[in-house]
Amino acid sequence: MNPMSICSSSSSSSSSSSSSTAKAWIVHSILAGTAIAVAIGARAYLGRAKKFRSRVVGIIPARFASSRFQGKPLVQILGKPMIQRTWERSKLATTLDHIVVATDDEKIAECCRGFGADVIMTSESCQNGTERCNEALEKLEKKYDIVVNIQGDEPLIEPEIIDGVVKALQAAPDAVFSTAVTSLKPEDAFDPNRVKCVVDNHGYAIYFSRGLVPFNKSAKVNPHFPYLLHLGIQSYDSEFLKIYPKLQPTPLQLEEDLEQLKVLENGYKMKVIKVDHEAHGVDTPEDVEKIESLMRENNLS
């Protein structure tokens, strides 16, 4: 046997083995590095997910000059201004980092400061509560991801509903707006002050109307159909809220006089949650007595 060939063969075998080992270590290192990178990326992603739309401010828009009920925010309900009752209920919500009242009226501002609320003065040119919320947001020193528009004429608003619309928007990244509905009472079917809502199978709004929707051929209320009543509370992605005032008024919005229709007509998605809630909004002076009676019945001071 040729010694040189044996020696050469052994050297070649050793070299091949070393090469294979080196390649294995390279592959192992690449895989390990990839795994670490994936883990870091996943952790970063989960961290962002936990913080998605996490900073939340509640804004209570209030104006004195209402066409249906002038001075409504200051009307007394069992010894307290209505705006104060709304503010006190809102403070019980767990998702809100801050609550402010946004108004263009000094009488309302003075009243609110008197019971401890933070107040932001806004211009009289605001066309609706959404625009007033946007102006207030611009004047706030801190940055927020979600703005909750809390109707000042809902003195019995449940804090769980506030939390519900916030969590709904946090869980729906494709939506820029969220709101709440409850079951419509048959006696409210044709009341234009009670706004109705229809939603799709995934919980997104299709339409809002002051008329009864859907409307059947008999022109009567179907006692077996689950009609939905829109509750005034709504929350917005703060970046969308900056866009909203720049959107031109839309035909359906103007016809129904419902600001949320401008959102839908421009193709944005709105998440809707259904809650078990008695609607106790104050739209007319006659509603005040109803609210007070209900509060007495339920021992609410």
Orientation angle between helical segments 106-114 and 82-90, nearest 10 degrees: 50
Q: Which amino acid is at 107?
A: K
Q: Could you tell me if 130 and 232 are in contact, meaning their C-beta atoms sit under 8 angstroms apart?
A: no
For 141, counting Cβ atoms within 10 Å of its Cβ (0-12 exposed, 13-18 middle, 19+ buried), the class is exposed
pLDDT (tens digit per residue) in 127-176: 888 889 999 999 998 999 999 999 988 899 999 999 999 999 999 999 99
Range 35-54 average pLDDT: 49
pLDDT (tens digit per residue) in 215-236: 999 999 999 999 999 998 999 9
Whether pLDDT at 43 is above 80: no
Fold of 44-295: Spore Coat Polysaccharide Biosynthesis Protein SpsA; Chain A (3.90.550)
Sign of the dihedral defined by the CA atoms of residues 129, 130, 131, 134, in that order: positive
Domain ranges of the chain: 44-295
Percentage above 90 pLDDT, the chain: 66
Higher pLDDT, 24 or 53: 53
Among the listed ranges 11-20, 262-271, 275-284, which one has the minimum average pLDDT value?
Answer: 11-20
Confidence tier at 25 by pLDDT (50, 70, 90):
low
Range 97-119 average pLDDT: 96
